Structure formats: structure tokens, C-alpha cells
């Protein structure tokens, strides 16, 4: 038996399609133990919202004219202010705009709120954000800025100007949920541009080729090794290793992580 409860995480769930999704998530949250788990349900619904946000940003990136994204950093609030009652108050402050389809609100798993804002509604959204500041005026982050002058509490992104916005937001949500990101398909020609620290990712995957073996002992090979060591050992993966020579060359360059058919064969022999 599936128990449907009167809990709506978001105004958008009033539509028939989203009620169907909500019912599916309730059923999924009940399957494991036979008892409805509100916490599991909330996590699954917010995970759906995060995925929906990524899809929405991808669509908006193709036609970004006049559109912005607003990120309310509610997760930075003190524990006493991160209550269901205050979260509901914050959401209701954007209720009229959302009903008129001027904004779309996405609750995040860490209690942040992200909104996509259409052209013409930005002044109203900014006014609502300032009202929310007064709700939490006892907070140290509400009115503060960092060294670059960026607001600690509300971040605005212009999709017309910030072409990397969708990737940055997706990276943020993946990191928040404990995922590590790897840039795949790097070659000797593209490797120097893929600094994992600058890109905000954990790993970079360099594809093995015989050309790499030819670099060992050369000036270019020493430059490549210095770059690998500078970017921290363990952050680079040598992929498509099909022989012991690939592993040997990678180690000479300071790489400690390997992937490919040769590695798979070694693992099968060992286990």
C-alpha cells in the first residue's frame, strides 16, 4: 500500500504531470521498507528538481536573451533560521511571480533556492530578495560581500553574458551531492588547457598514445611532467592503456591513476 500525504514541496506540483511524478516518488520512498519515509521522499523530490534545473538551464542556454538566474544561498543561514516555516515564507514571497510564469523556482537538496527569471521580472525578484534579507537581518551573511564585491546571500547570473553559467551550476550541484567530476577525452594538444583547479573538477583523463612514450626523456616530456606534478599527483588519469609500456610511461610522467584494457586484465587476474 502507498500512503499519499498532504505534503507539497513546491507550488509547481499542482500540475497533473508533476502530481504523477510526486506519486511515483512517494511510491519509491515507500518500497524499501514498506513504510513511507518523509526524509527519503524530500531527498528524492529535491533531486528531481535539481535534474529539472539542469535541463532547464540547458534549454535556456540556446535562447538566453533577457534571462537571468538567481541563487539564494539559504544553506548559509544559521540553523535556527533554516526551518520549514521560514523556507515556506521565502517561497511564498515569489508566489505571484511564479503563478504568472515569470519565474520558476527550484528547491535544492541543501535548502538553497535557485530561480530562473524572465526579462521584465528582475526588478520584482530583486525587491522580493531584499524583503527576504530583512527576514534574516540577524544573519552575518545577509548583507555581506566577499573581497570581489560579490553578494554572499544572493547571486545573479546573466545567461547572455555568462556562457559558462549552466556548467558552473551543474558542477555546483554535483559537488554539493558528493560527486567528483572528471574531464574526459584529453589529448596532448588539449591537456595544457584543462587545469582541474581552474575548472573546478577533480580529475582530468589523458588518453594514451604512442606519442606520449616518445616524449619520455625529451624537453617536451619534462614540461608535461612538470605540469602534471604542478596540478597535484592523483588528479590525472592515463586512459586507454593497452600495454605495460603505457603504465611505465605514465609513471615516469608522475601519473598514478590508470584505466584501460591492460588494467582490466590485471584486475581480472588478481580478483
pLDDT tens, position by position, 79-89? 888 888 888 88
Greatest mean pLDDT range, 40-44, 53-57, 68-72, 248-252:
248-252
Q: Distance between CA 129 and CA 190 in Å, rounded? A: 42
Q: What is the pLDDT of residue 185?
A: 87
When comparing pLDDT for 131 and 36, which is higher?
Answer: 131
DSSP codes of every residue in 122-185: HHHHHHHHHHHHHHTTT-SSTT-B-TT--BSSEEEEETTT-TTHHHHHHHHHHHHTT---EEEE
For residue 238, pLDDT beyond 90: yes
What is the arithmetic mean of pLDDT over 204-216?
92
Q: What is the pLDDT of residues 62-80, one digit of tens each?
A: 777 888 889 898 888 998 8
Band (164; pLDDT cuts 50, 70, 90): low
The pLDDT assigned to 234 comes to 53
Output the nine-digit C-alpha cell for 82: 533554516
Of 135, 93, 137, 134, give the one whose Cα is nearest residue 115.
Answer: 93
pLDDT over 60 at 7, yes or no: no
SS3 29: helix
Q: What confidence category does residue 239 fall into, taking pLDDT thresholds of 50, 70 and 90?
A: very high
Q: What is the pLDDT of residue 14?
A: 37
- Range from 2-11, 105-114, 232-241 carrying the lowest mean pLDDT: 2-11
What is d(CA 241, CA 263) in angstroms, rounded to the nearest whole number? 7
Q: Is the pLDDT of residue 31 over 60?
A: no
Q: Is the pLDDT of residue 178 over 80?
A: no
Ranges of beta strands (E only) in the chain are 68-72, 103-107, 113-117, 154-158, 182-186, 203-207, 236-239, 257-258
Average model confidence (pLDDT) across the chain? 76
Q: Quickly count helices (H) and strands (E) in the chain.
A: 11, 8
Q: What is the pLDDT of residues 93-144, one digit of tens each?
A: 887 787 777 888 888 877 888 888 888 888 999 999 999 999 888 888 888 8
- Greatest mean pLDDT among 29-38, 151-160, 242-251 lies in 242-251
The pLDDT, as a whole number, for residue 39 is 44
Average the pLDDT over 201-229 and give the result: 91
Q: What is the mean pLDDT of residues 157-161?
A: 79
> Confidence band (pLDDT; 50, 70, 90) for 35?
very low
Q: Could you tell me the pLDDT band of residue 8, with boundaries at 50, 70 and 90?
A: very low
Amino acid at each position: 500500500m502507498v500512503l499519499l500525504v498532504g505534503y507539497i514541496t513546491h507550488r509547481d506540483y499542482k500540475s497533473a504531470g508533476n502530481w504523477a511524478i510526486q506519486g511515483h516518488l512517494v511510491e519509491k520512498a515507500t518500497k524499501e521498507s514498506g513504510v513511507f519515509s518523509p526524509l527519503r521522499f524530500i531527498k528524492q523530490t529535491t533531486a528531481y528538481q535539481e535534474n529539472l534545473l539542469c535541463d532547464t538551464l540547458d534549454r535556456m542556454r540556446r535562447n538566453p536573451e533577457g534571462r537571468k538566474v538567481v541563487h539564494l544561498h539559504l544553506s548559509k543561514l544559521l540553523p535556527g533560521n533554516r526551518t520549514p516555516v521560514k523556507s515556506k515564507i521565502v517561497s511564498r514571497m515569489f508566489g505571484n511571480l511564479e503563478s504568472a510564469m515569470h519565474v520558476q523556482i527550484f528547491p535544492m537538496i541543501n535548502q538553497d533556492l535557485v530561480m530562473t527569471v524572465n526579462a521584465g521580472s528582475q526588478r520584482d525578484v530583486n525587491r522580493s530578495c531584499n524583503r527576504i534579507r530583512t527576514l534574516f537581518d540577524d544573519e552575518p551573511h545577509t548583507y555581506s560581500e566577499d573581497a570581489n564585491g560579490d553578494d554572499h546571500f544572493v547571486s545573479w547570473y546573466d545567461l547572455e553574458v555568462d556562457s559558462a553559467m549552466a556548467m558552473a551550476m551543474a558542477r555546483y550541484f554535483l559537488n554539493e551531492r558528493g560527486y567528483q567530476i572528471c574531464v574526459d577525452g584529453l589529448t596532448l594538444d588539449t591537456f595544457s588547457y584543462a587545469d582541474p583547479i581552474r575548472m573546478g573538477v577533480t580529475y582530468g583523463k589523458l588518453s594514451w598514445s604512442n606519442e606520449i612514450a616518445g616524449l619520455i626523456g625529451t624537453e617536451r616530456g619534462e614540461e608535461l611532467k612538470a605540469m602534471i606534478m604542478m596540478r597535484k599527483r592523483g588528479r590525472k588519469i592515463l586512459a586507454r592503456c593497452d600495454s605495460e609500456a603505457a603504465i611505465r610511461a605514465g609513471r615516469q610522467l608522475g601519473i598514478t591513476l590508470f584505466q584501460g584494457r591492460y588494467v582490466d586484465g590485471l584486475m581480472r587476474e588478481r580478483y
